[in-house]
Amino acid sequence: MVVNEWDQLKLHLQEWVEECRPISAAGKVAEYIPELSKARQDMLGIHLRDPRGQSISSGEARTGFTMQSISKVFTLILALMDHGESAVFSKVGMEPTGDQFNSIMKLELAQPAIPFNPLINAGAIVVSSMIKGENAEAKSARILSFFRELAGNPGLDYDLQVYRSESETGHLNRSMAYFLLDKGILGCGVEEVLDIYFRHCSIQVCCEDLARMALVLAFDGTDPTTGKTLIPRRYVQIAKTFMVTCGMYNGSGEFAIGAGLPAKSGVSGGILTLVPGRYGIGVVGPALNPKGNSIAGVQLIERLSRTFDWSLF
Ligand code: DON
């Protein structure tokens, strides 16, 4: 009997999750946002979704966590939908940095003085300032409703404890925002942009939400389960390219070799990834490797990709 890929996933996913879980012991849960340090070190969950709406989950796939940097992919898309490519890329670049996600080092060196890409913190702060809306509240409301539509989940909302925790301790982001303001590339004031940025980072999701959002990217902007186009194809193409080149920060090259899939990680341990034209995938594992990516989550995705030959390359 030939066992197809979906059947194999159903048969083995749990076993692979349990094999990868112990790797978490070698990682570290993020502490620089105090509220994130409460996450369980050995948590690991995954949800895979196909275009027919079938899904498979394993591990702690239903536990909530905040999107953190994963949100940056979708705020970039919204800014592109609001302003178009040339306006967005006049304020943020397209190149990987090879530095940590919150590094301030290259900001002063870059010519023109714009952040290297929209997925590092400095670039994402600029993108947050470009979202259309009368004030911070209106801009954040547009972001939240866009995310709810992509996830097909009208219940998505902020984790206000994480939001407050980051807002109180985000001194490095605050200093970057002042630098960007000085360079004339912020579309609004420092506290306004940080409020928008901290809010979208603190949107609470589970693996299923991420998998649904990823599925829209896997199908070039159309939700295959409803047939509704939510994002123009060109902007999905841009987002997926950034995910490959910068989505796992200074671990992006290693992940491209190991898994070969567009992906975006967050410091809460979430990873959103996809197999183009096939699956949306959400993973969570709060223990991080030194590059800030889920240590067990990366292993699990690499394992799946190699088993089923999913690499794009
Ligand atoms: O600005 C921060 O530091 C966080 N809100 C997001 C950083 C993040 O998720 C980096 N990911 N690996």
- Atom 1 in ligand 1: residue holding the nearest Cα: 121
Catalytic residue among 158, 197, 235, 279: 197
Q: Could you read off the pLDDT of 260-276 as tens digits, one per residue? A: 999 999 999 999 999 99
pLDDT band of residue 2 (cuts 50, 70, 90) is: low
The DSSP bridge pattern shows strands 55-59 and 157-158 to be unpaired
Structural domain boundaries in the chain: 5-68+204-306, 71-201
Q: Could you read off the pLDDT of 218-229 as tens digits, one per residue? A: 999 999 999 999
- The answer on whether 173 is annotated among ligand-binding residues is yes
Distance 71 CA to ligand 1 centre (A): 10
CB of 267 within 6 A of ligand 1: the answer is: yes
Q: Measure the CA–CA gap between 308 and 311, rounded to whole angstroms.
A: 9
pLDDT band of residue 280 (cuts 50, 70, 90) is: very high
Burial 42-80 (b: 16+ CB within 10 A, else e): bbbbbbbbbbeeebbbbbbbeeebbbbbbbbbbbbbbbb
pLDDT band of residue 254 (cuts 50, 70, 90) is: very high
CB of 209 within 6 A of ligand 1: the answer is: no
Distance 307 CA to ligand 1 centre (A): 30
pLDDT higher than threshold 60 for residue 173: yes
CB of 167 within 6 A of ligand 1: the answer is: no
pLDDT at 109: 80
pLDDT higher than threshold 70 for residue 1: no
Question: Would 5-68+204-306 and 71-201 be classified into the same CATH topology?
Answer: yes
Q: Residues 101, 121: contact at Cβ < 8 Å? A: yes
CATH number of the structural domain 5-68+204-306: 3.40.710.10
Catalytic residue among 17, 127, 267, 284: 267
Structure-token pair, residue 264: 């975006």
CATH number of the structural domain 71-201: 3.40.710.10
Cα torsion through 32, 33, 37, 41, rounded to 10: -80
Q: Could you read off the pLDDT of 187-239 as tens digits, one per residue? A: 899 999 999 999 999 999 999 999 999 999 999 999 999 999 999 999 999 99
Please give the ipTM for the structure prediction.
Answer: 0.97
Q: Measure the CA–CA gap between 229 and 117, rounded to whole angstroms.
A: 26
